[in-house]
Amino acid sequence: MVSLQTLRSSRALSVAVSYLPRLNSVLNVIAKYRLDEFMHGQPGARRLGLLLLPYRLAWIFSSQASTHKNVRLRKAMEELGPIYIKFGQLLSTRRDFLDIELADELQSLQDNVPPFSSPSIHQLIEESLGVTAESIFSSLDSEPFACASIAQVYRATLHTGEEVVIKVVRPGIEEVVSADIKLLKWIASLIEARTDLGKKLHPVEIVNDYEKIIHDELDLLSEAANTSQLKRNFENSPALYVPKVYWDYCSKRIMVMERIHGIPVADVDALNAQNTDLKKLAETGVDIFFTQVFDHNFFHADMHPGNIFVSQETPENPKYIAIDCAIIGSLTKDDQEYLAKNLLALFRREYRKVAELHVSCGWVPRDTKIHEFESAIRSVCEPIFEKPLKEISFANLLIQLFRTASRFDMEVQPSLVLLQKTLLNVEGLGRQLYPDLDLWTTALPYLENWNKRRLNPFTLLGRIQENIPNWIDQLPQLPQLFIDAATESKQLGEINASLKSQQKQIMQNTQRQNRKFRFLGTALVAAAAFSLIPGLHEAMINLPLATVSLALAGVYLLCFRR
């Protein structure tokens, strides 16, 4: 008989064979950069070493061994290509589990990809939109001005004179993504099953989240819809501008969008040259983040410096410009409310309330001991709060909090991971612009105002008013609902009565059986006495029939009647 372990091994082997060409490339890169060092002390490390031995021989004189293992991992992901680069960037957001230095190294992954030249932009437009490029654009650059792993971007001008950019998905990228995702899932399942880090990090869950994100990035109609929504949320806002989408020229593989003119947010020298108020710019970025999360519940979750620009107008009252809205985050109403309450409680050092909120919102199990969780939170937060507020990283405090909660079996929601990543970007960017940025001073008044608005009687009345049309729509259905409820109640009553009757019958049958056993036991005892006690047999024979009958009737009544 084939064992379960043998079946699992053969299944894993067959999966590995199906990915052999790509797996061979991955193993070669792992050997080149000595990445098996991350497995030292883990179950299966020796097996991996034997598997890598032929590849290690090819790289025996490699100079990579002298560099730090975190740097080697980052270089390996860059060499493996765009899918692994983006996966490494996503992995860097799990600072609640990863070493901080490793997370920083992965976050610095650069997405430098050479452009594709075939098919041409003219061919792609005709294939995707069914019309020639000349019928839409008066001018169109044949070479891209920006290239990334998923898409590249061209400058163009519409016949109406409006300057636009055309974003196109790389040909064949879907097949590459699909193959690499399958391989990543297989590798992640092995790591999760066979290493301690895997059990904590949940790499399979991370790959599944990554799969959703990467497929959203492949669909430019989804990105266009996100861009339009974000633009509508900040319509006429002095803080953020989002470029216009030209829907008539969009498809799953092509998006045409207004061309923006601004200064890259990381170009501090250029910002200083136009006398930009950097303190206000940094604080505005924090305000935009909290507005997106708590007012709109729709936040740009890829706010790295490459996607953020600053308008050249009104430098004394600077305005952001956001592009690349492929990755958008949102929270459930409950998570949104509990997150705000958690942050407020943290600001006020109300650690017991933080612990209770984690339990009540289901982030940690219901049976968590509140006093133990509270003590763990206090031990993390108190040393941090001893520093001046401007030196405290708000994002890192949240990471430490999530890391502590993970010891109490906290289930990290994908939306919270995106939020954490976005907050890291916002805070890092803000302090790059203005090193003395005190995010706490900026955030606390916002959260307090949000809480006041939430509890305001007029806000509550507004919510009731929003629901009134739904209630009115349901009014005609109420009589039938009452009838259905009454019918169901009657049926339940009948079912309960039937169950009670059946239960009573079962109890009576059980009692009858018990009495039979008692009668049988009595009979056996009598039979034993009849045969063993000297003279009893003769005495019984000489008893009158009426006496014997009466005795038997008494035993029957004792055993079979109440």
Checking if the pLDDT of 524 tops 50, the result is no
What does the domain layout of the chain look like in residue ranges?
A: 112-259, 329-455, 481-560
In order of 25, 394, 534, 541, the CA distances from 537 in angstroms are: 97, 97, 7, 6
pLDDT digits (tens, 9 = 90+) for 34-93: 877 777 766 666 677 767 777 776 677 666 667 888 888 888 888 887 778 877 876 776
d(CA 297, CA 331): 6
pTM of the predicted model as reported, rounded to 2 decimal places: 0.70
Supply angle C-alpha 41, 89, 53, rounded to 5: 40
401 or 72, higher pLDDT: 72
Report, as an integer, the average pLDDT of 469-485: 64
Backbone angles phi, psi at 165, to 5 degrees: -125, 150
DSSP for 179-231? Answer: HHHHHHHHHHHHHHHH-HHHHHH-HHHHHHHHHHHHHHHH-HHHHHHHHHHHH
By mean pLDDT, which of 94-108, 121-135, 313-327, 375-389 is the weakest?
94-108
Report residue 321 as tokens. 């410009």
Q: What is the pLDDT of residues 260-309, one digit of tens each?
A: 999 998 888 999 999 999 999 998 998 998 899 888 999 998 887 788 99
Domain 112-259 CATH assignment equals 3.30.200.20: yes
Q: What is the mean pLDDT of residues 148-156?
A: 89
| CA torsion through residues 227, 233, 238, 240, sign | negative
Cβ-contact 400, 73 below 8 angstroms: no
Greater confidence, 249 or 15?
249
What is residue 151's DSSP assignment?
E
Catalytic residue among 96, 302, 324, 438: 302
How far apart are the C-alpha atoms of 432 and 264, rounded to whole Å?
13
Token pair of 372 as six digits: 């133990």
Structure tokens at 296: 């709109």
Gyration radius (Cα) of the chain, Å: 36
C-alpha span between 461 and 468 (Å, rounded): 10
DSSP tally for the chain: helices H, then strands E? 23, 11
Q: Quick check: is 438 catalytic?
A: no
DSSP state of 557: H
Per residue in 156-187, pLDDT (tens digit) is 999 999 999 999 998 888 888 888 888 888 88
Q: Are 166 and 153 in contact (CB under 8 A)?
A: yes
Band of the pLDDT at 480, cuts 50, 70, 90? low
